[in-house]
Chain A
Amino acid sequence: MRKPIIILIAIIIVSAVAVVFITPIGLIGPMGSISHTLPWRLGLDLIGGAHLIYEVDMSKVSSGERNSAVAGLRDVIEKRVNLFGVSEPLINSAKEGDSYRLIVELAGIKDVSEAVKEIGSTPLLDFREILEINSSSGEEQQVFMPTNLTGRYIKSASVASDNITNQPSISVEFNDEGAKIFEELTERNVGKPLGIFLDNNEISAPVVREKISGGKAQISGQFTKNEAIQLVSRFNAGALPAPINLESQQLIGASLGSESLQKAIYAGIIGTIIVMIFMIIYYRFFGFFAAIALLLYTILTLSFFKASSMTITLSGIAGFILSIGMAVDANILIFERVKEEIKNGASKLVAIEEGFKRAWPSIRDSNISTIITAFILYYFTSSFVKGFALTLGIGVVISMFSAIITTRTLLRIFVRK
């Protein structure tokens, strides 16, 4: 008879810690540091922000270099977004069939359109060499053909000014690989112009006088000092190794997000209280313990979400609230069994033990179909579905055990004869 009391004490301690952990109380006192280091992670739909899906144009990247190009893109975009002051941008890459995608999530951003511009702005710098072709009319034409040398080989850039004209110019330094390509390129094109293109626009085409080793180049064009400074900061953040296309975007205003969060929490609290009241009215004495078990369930599950640093989305909250409605299912199954046992003449204590024992297969079976559904939905990969399926699935699994363990422990202690 000692065992249930020990379990009860353990439950009380765990719940107390959990309450401190998930509520604002946790922000003060000795637990403060834990609550601070592990804050709630809220999804875009709750704090507002942008969810952007970019398609990567890999047509000019050889198949062997595609993965490194994607990795490069992620780094570059992350740097650009950081410049914009977004905390913890989430950037994921995904491969869907033959296409490569980048999924950028900017939480809590105010001016989304500026950020979209900044990310997408491709100071796509490349160097082109002259190629002579015969046009259909037989005339010789000179065309600039793209070379391997692009902005991705830039190690650093700085603003300089031209000695003669005092015009602002940009000096760039290539990395070792880029320096080698640049050397070959200049060697090949001595006496010919080398086209420097920014975003597919020719900005200058200086004539190469001699082979240039060392990987340094000066770009002078018709830009103002401010333009030069902006370009340099972009080059230093890195140029995009491949062009990207904004394929899909989702913007959620901050006001909508916080309104959704407030309403969802409010609805969740009301729903929980109504279910608790229903259980107490319908099952009286037993229902009271089921209500306590339900309260513990919500506290424990929320702590689990917070401790595992799961991102909570609006659909995730919906899934969790749904699981609150289902959590008492185990208790209902047990209590109905207990009632039957008592009707068949068993004593209260025996009926409770029998009820728990005999209801277990039904509890397990009745949750399996929901778990199957949640599991499949999770692999459905659209973010709305994922959040929902995850909280619903986790909720159902936790509730099966929490409802049984807490209710049984409480009943064993408080039911006599």
Chain B
Amino acid sequence: MDIIKYRNIYFSVSGILIFVSIVALVVFGIRLGIDFTGGTLWQLRLTNDQQLTADSIKSFFENELKIENITIYPAENGNFLFRFNNISEEQHQEYLGKLKEKFGETEEISYETIGPAIGGELKTKAVLAVILVLLGISLYVAYAFRKVSYPVKSYKYGIITLVTLFHDVVISAGILSFLSWRYGIDFDTKYVVALLVILGFSVHDTIVVFDRIRENLLVGRGKDLLIVINSSVNQTIARSINTSLTLVLVLLALFLFGPESLKYFVLVIMAGTIIGTYSSIFIASPLLLTAKGK
């Protein structure tokens, strides 16, 4: 299978995906979750007879409870998700009482409020974790490609691995920003974890392909680089796809049958895994050929 031949098609597809993702990030933005900004996230089940809409509840919150900057998302089974500023326990009980008075039966599914100080700390920790993972993975890439190999310089493997990584994370972030816009997902700790996990997977997929290319280059000196890359990709493609496929299968099970709260977390990792596999086969290896030409 001549995969490398059509490299310009893959590059165009990825270019468009990255462009769309960046546009999505700029247009929709990413709203930080309450664990970074401080605030309250409240899930209630309002089981009364009237047809309640998010709008009517919103006006109650704004006019009766005097809560500003509130966003409401309707969920399944009469559940509503509210997000607003950080409140005290007294306010929490007061609001709950008033809600019960107004809407009747009100079950508290979950409630979370985070003070701004703790939010700030979690943000710092998240940034630190991202930096450390990037550093750890870069060191690992440098280690994995420490032996110089002809005809592609060793540092180029490293750079291409990081470019591929960037590709995967930007597209995943684009998907996340779409979800944020469409389903009101907040970018909280969960999604930092999702992106970092995608990063880890993406790197190992790319490294497996590159390892094989290097091995084949050592064995078949003098052969054309294009042929070597092509046969290496073909040798590892079954492994790459199968490994991701088993992961996607369990993620799919978790997405379809798993708990509601993990749904989008799982979706983002699933999308990232597919993108990571695609990029290691169709982007990273052809890029190696491009890098050699210059």
Q: Report the bound CA distance from A55 to B115 in whole Å.
A: 10
Decide yes or no: A376 and B89 within 8 Å by CB, A260-B259, A369-B204, A384-B189 being known contacts: no
B253–A382 CB distance below 8 A = no
Q: Report the bound CA distance from A329 to B43 in whole Å.
A: 39
A246–B89 CB distance below 8 A = yes
Please pick, from A96, A248, A372, the residue contacting B133 in the complex, using a CB distance under 8 A. Answer: A372
In residues 50-103 of chain A, which contact B (Cβ within 8 Å)?
53, 55, 96, 99
Nearest Cβ distance between residue A399 and chain B, in whole angstroms? 12
Segment at the interface with A among B13-21, B54-62, B122-130, B286-294: B122-130
A267–B112 CB distance below 8 A = no
Segment at the interface with A among B103-111, B171-179, B216-224: B103-111
A314: which B residues are within 8 A, CB to CB? Answer: 259, 261-262
B109–A370 CB distance below 8 A = no
Chain B binding site: helix, strand, loop or mixed by DSSP? helix
In the complex, A167 has a CB within 8 A of chain B: no
B242–A99 CB distance below 8 A = no
Q: Report the bound CA distance from A332 to B113 in whole Å.
A: 45
B71: which A residues are within 8 A, CB to CB? Answer: none
Q: Report the bound CA distance from A246 to B93 in whole Å.
A: 14
B193–A263 CB distance below 8 A = no
In the complex, B1 has a CB within 8 A of chain A: no
Decide yes or no: A247 and B115 within 8 Å by CB, A256-B109, A329-B246, A376-B132 being known contacts: yes
Which residue in chain B gives the minimum CB-CB distance to A113?
B93
B257–A249 CB distance below 8 A = no
Which residue in chain B gives the minimum CB-CB distance to A120?
B89
A253–B204 CB distance below 8 A = no
Q: Report the bound CA distance from A120 to B193 in whole Å.
A: 33
Decide yes or no: A318 and B266 within 8 Å by CB, A246-B89, A253-B108 being known contacts: yes
Decide yes or no: A367 and B204 within 8 Å by CB, A247-B115, A247-B117, A250-B112 being known contacts: yes
B265: which A residues are within 8 A, CB to CB? Answer: 318
Which residue in chain B gives the minimum CB-CB distance to A371?
B200
In the complex, B144 has a CB within 8 A of chain A: yes
In the complex, B78 has a CB within 8 A of chain A: no
Q: Mark B111-150, 1 if CB is under 8 A from A, else 0.
A: 1111101100110011011001100110010001000000
Decide yes or no: A365 and B246 within 8 Å by CB, A120-B89, A372-B137, A381-B125 being known contacts: no
Q: Mark A219-254, 1 if CB is under 8 A from B, else 0.
A: 000000000000000000000000000111111110
Q: Mark B85-98, 1 if CB is under 8 A from A, else 0.
A: 00011001100100
A382–B35 CB distance below 8 A = yes
Q: Report the bound CA distance from A373 to B276 in whole Å.
A: 16
In the complex, A401 has a CB within 8 A of chain B: no
B35: which A residues are within 8 A, CB to CB? Answer: 382
In the complex, A264 has a CB within 8 A of chain B: yes
A368: which B residues are within 8 A, CB to CB? Answer: 140, 204
A53: which B residues are within 8 A, CB to CB? Answer: 115, 118
B108–A251 CB distance below 8 A = yes
B258: which A residues are within 8 A, CB to CB? Answer: 263-264, 266-267, 318, 321
Which residue in chain A gives the minimum CB-CB distance to B249?
A274
B250–A272 CB distance below 8 A = yes
Nearest Cβ distance between residue A167 and chain B, in whole angstroms? 31
B251: which A residues are within 8 A, CB to CB? Answer: 271, 322, 325
In the complex, B197 has a CB within 8 A of chain A: yes
A278–B245 CB distance below 8 A = yes
Q: Report the bound CA distance from A377 to B136 in whole Å.
A: 12
Which residue in chain A gives the minimum CB-CB distance to B112?
A250
In residues 199-256 of chain B, which contact A (Cβ within 8 Å)?
199-201, 203-205, 207-208, 211, 235-236, 238-239, 242-243, 245-254, 256
In the complex, B99 has a CB within 8 A of chain A: no
Decide yes or no: A369 and B189 within 8 Å by CB, A314-B261, A362-B208 being known contacts: no
Q: Mark A328-355, 1 if CB is under 8 A from B, else 0.
A: 1100110010001000000000000000
Q: Report the bound CA distance from A282 to B115 in whole Å.
A: 52
A248: which B residues are within 8 A, CB to CB? Answer: 112-115, 118
A255–B109 CB distance below 8 A = yes
Nearest Cβ distance between residue A228 and chain B, in whole angstroms? 25
In the complex, B156 has a CB within 8 A of chain A: no
B129: which A residues are within 8 A, CB to CB? Answer: 376-377, 379-380, 385
In the complex, B190 has a CB within 8 A of chain A: yes
Residues of B bordering A, CB below 8 Å = 35, 43, 88-89, 92-93, 96, 107-115, 117-118, 121-122, 125-126, 128-129, 132-133, 136-137, 140, 144, 189-190, 193, 196-197, 199-201, 203-205, 207-208, 211, 235-236, 238-239, 242-243, 245-254, 256-262, 265-266, 269
**Given A253-B108, A274-B253, A377-B193: 9 more A-B contacts, CB < 8 Å:** A264-B254, A272-B250, A314-B261, A332-B243, A370-B197, A370-B200, A372-B140, A373-B137, A376-B196
Rank and list the top 5 A-B pairs by shortest CB-CB distance, nearest first.
A271-B250, A271-B253, A325-B250, A325-B247, A267-B258
